[in-house]
Amino acid sequence: MTKPRVAVLISGRGSNMMSLIEAAAAPDFPAEIAVVISNRPEAHGLARAQACNIPTRTVDHKAHADRAAFDAALDAVLVEEQADLVCLAGFMRLLTAPFVEKWAGRMINIHPALLPSFKGLHTHERALAEGVRIHGCTVHFVTPEMDVGPILMQAAVPVLDADTPETLGARVLAQEHVIYPAALRMVADGRARLESGRVVLDEFVLAPPALVVPPVG
């Protein structure tokens, strides 16, 4: 049986990209990482993917007049690469509604916060500023509005009194590397899908044991 072909979109170092590549190397993983695409030619993740023998492509957003033109070029590369699924992994571009709607149910994203809290950027700084006691990460289907897509999986970590954005971010990132491959597995093998704006599971699926709450008493 042919595995779905996954395109991973990056803009930087490719930390979550690597977690997907490493997971997909297992024989029983139900998808293959077919290509890594970056909107930045200098993205370090491109070299990391190449070192893993993953084909790479660049669609430089600076070479296109507007978002629509960039998205059209990106879509053309995805079609050329015969992508079945798309994973955004630190991809720092807002995508247009027509592009997102074309790939609806086939495109997922990892966000470093427990959505719907802390959409957008600087999530760890904002979590500390707000004084929350639990923070984390979310994998969700991508919809035209930023960071509001139906949630596939979440992991939570405690916020410690001594935390800085860097220490908190590192703890969250470790959980991103756990749940992103797990969520992709669910989508690739058909156990999770998008229907009428909601995530439907064919069976009850537990997230990895990532939730840690501060001790009480």
Catalytic positions are: 111
Cβ atoms of residues 16 and 175 within 8 Å = no
Q: Tokens 């072909």 label which residue?
A: 5
Q: Which of 6, 10, 70, 5 is nearest to 38 (CA)?
A: 10
CA distance 47 to 14: 9
Structure tokens at 122: 């600087």
Cis before residue 116, ω within 30 degrees of 0? yes
- Please tell me the distance from the alpha carbon of residue 176 to that of residue 82, in angstroms, as a whole number: 26
Contact criterion met (CB below 8 Å) for 59 and 80? no
DSSP state of 87: E
Give every strand in the sheet of 32-38, ordered side by side: 56-58, 32-38, 5-10, 85-88, 107-111, 134-141, 151-158
Residues 6+ apart with CB under 8 A from 103: 78, 86, 142
